[in-house]
Amino acid sequence: MDFLIYSNHPRMKEFIIKSAFTVFDQLDELPTDVMSLMKDAVAIRKNAYAPYSKFRVGAALLLDNGKIILGSNQENAAYPSGLCAERVAIFQSGALYPNAKIVKMAISAASDHNTTNAPIPPCGACRQSIAEYEFKQESNIEIFFMGETGAIFKSDSLKNLLPLMFDKNFL
């Protein structure tokens, strides 16, 4: 991600933020370890508790100690009390292995209503939560996301997905 400063207007400055993604057209284009991680994310979708949205999300994390941590979205009749798959997974990771680093994250989402062909990115709240762990571990997390079928997008870091993020340096 870069910041381009344009200052040629006499009274106005602006900057443009660029984010770059790698696109894989299908699962078998992924590196072997990521393909396996994505298959874990797809498989764990079945454990989503999504009676309200019928939208099932799976997340799989690869840690630097070799462990794989899984999460699926867990909904609640009081809607905001539910939690996304990504945060279920990263909080589980932090709870079980507080000193391990998250190296890669794979996300897959599918609706019971229709087929999601587009890559489904993590929501804003999940991005903020994942950002916290990148700062904590002082290393990037590679994030791969897809729908039910179709292309997979890869971001080299969460920072790419959340420009101008709020972090501990502002406190």
Residue ranges with strand state E in 83-156: 102-111, 142-146, 152-155
Q: Is 158 in the site for ligand THU (CB under 6 A)?
A: no
As a whole number of angstroms, the distance between CA 6 and CA 38 comes to 40
Which listed range, 2-10, 32-40, 83-91, 134-142, lies at the site for ligand THU (CB under 6 A)?
83-91
Antiparallel, parallel or unpaired: β 102-111 and 142-146:
parallel
Comparing CB distances to ligand THU, the nearer of 32 and 81 is 81
Letters for 57-76 (x = contact with ligand THU by CB under 6 A, - = none) are x---------------x-x-
Which residue among 21, 47, 68, 82 contacts ligand THU (CB under 6 A)? 82
Which residues 89-108 are close enough to bind ligand THU by CB under 6 A?
Answer: none
The DSSP symbol for 75 reads: -
Length of the chain: 171
Closest to 82 measured CA to CA, from 125, 146, 118: 125
Closest to 59 measured CA to CA, from 48, 70, 49, 51: 70
Which residue among 21, 55, 91, 97 contacts ligand THU (CB under 6 A)? 55
Smallest distance, Å, CB 168 to ligand THU? 23
The residues pairing with 68 across neighbouring beta strands, listed in sequence order, are 62
Q: Is 85 in the site for ligand THU (CB under 6 A)?
A: yes
- Contacts with ligand THU by CB under 6 A lie at 50, 53, 55, 57, 73, 75, 82, 84-86, 122-123, 126
